[in-house]
Amino acid sequence: MIRTVFILLYVFPATAVFASIAIIVSFFSRTGNSVHIIARIWSKSILFVSGIKVDIEGFTHIDPSKSYVYMSNHQSNFDIPVLLGCLPIQFRWLAKAELFKIPIFGRAMSGAGYVKIDRSNRESAFKSIDEAIENPLLKALTKSPQR
Closest C-alpha among 32, 33, 54 to residue 43: 54
> What does DSSP assign to residue 98?
G
Rg of the Cα trace of the chain? 16
pLDDT in tens, 17-56: 999 999 899 888 888 889 889 999 999 999 999 999 999 8
pLDDT tens for residues 101-143? 988 888 888 888 888 888 888 888 888 888 777 776 666 665 5
Torsion sign (Cα): 18, 19, 23, 24: negative
